[in-house]
């Protein structure tokens, strides 16, 4: 089945530093979604990005489909960025997403 690997597993930054989160997957993705999970537990969709580059605010997602990888770049990190970031893949145009293990980000003031 589809495998999704995220790296690093955890990351600690000082406020203002940039972060680069990686997602690698074993089969071509027809859907790819990045999520942020609040420390309280709610999952929020950041990007739906099966290919190309998308920006929103300080966040940029880049997916290179034929290399089976995606990245999430966070610029000028803030303490409120702390939480866990997940990428999730669907590779058969069906309904199912397979999640990576997540990257836990801590931004210190």
Partner 1 sequence: EAAVTQSPRNKVAVTGGKVTLSCNQTNNHNNMYWYRQDTGHGLRLIHYSYGAGSTEKGDIPDGYKASRPSQENFSLILELATPSQTSVYFCASGDAGEQYFGPGTRLTVL
Return the residues of window 26-45 that contact partner 1 according to CB under 8 A: 31, 33, 35, 41-45
Give the binding-site size for partner 1 (rule: CB under 8 A).
22
Tallying the residues shown for the chain, one arrives at 109
Q: Which is nearer to partner 1, 75 or 106 (CB)?
A: 106
Give me the residues paired with residue 45 across strands: 35
Separation between Cα atoms, residue 64 and residue 56, nearest integer Å: 18
Residue with tokens 């739906």: 48
DSSP label at 42?
-
Q: Which stretch binds partner 1 (CB under 8 A): 11-19, 56-64, 71-79, 89-97?
A: 89-97
Q: Which of 21, 33, 36, 45 is nearest to 84 (CA)?
A: 36
Residue 8 C-alpha from the chain's centroid: 11
Tell the smallest beta-carbon distance from residue 18 to partner 1 (Å): 24
55 is a site residue for partner 1 (CB under 8 A): no
Residues that bind partner 1 (CB under 8 A): 1, 4, 31, 33, 35, 41-45, 48, 86, 88, 93, 95-102
């Amino acid at each position: 089945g589809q495998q999704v690997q995220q790296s690093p597993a955890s990351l600690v930054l000082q406020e203002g530093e940039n972060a680069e989160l990686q997602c690698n997957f074993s089969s071509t993705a027809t859907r790819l979604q990045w999520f942020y999970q609040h420390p309280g537990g709610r999952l929020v969709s950041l990007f739906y990005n099966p290919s190309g580059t998308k920006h929103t605010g300080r966040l940029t997602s880049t997916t290179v489909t034929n290399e089976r990888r995606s990245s999430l770049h966070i610029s000028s990190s803030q303490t409120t960025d702390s939480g866990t970031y997940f990428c999730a893949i669907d590779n058969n145009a069906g309904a199912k997403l397979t999640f990576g293990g997540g990257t836990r980000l801590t931004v210190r003031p």
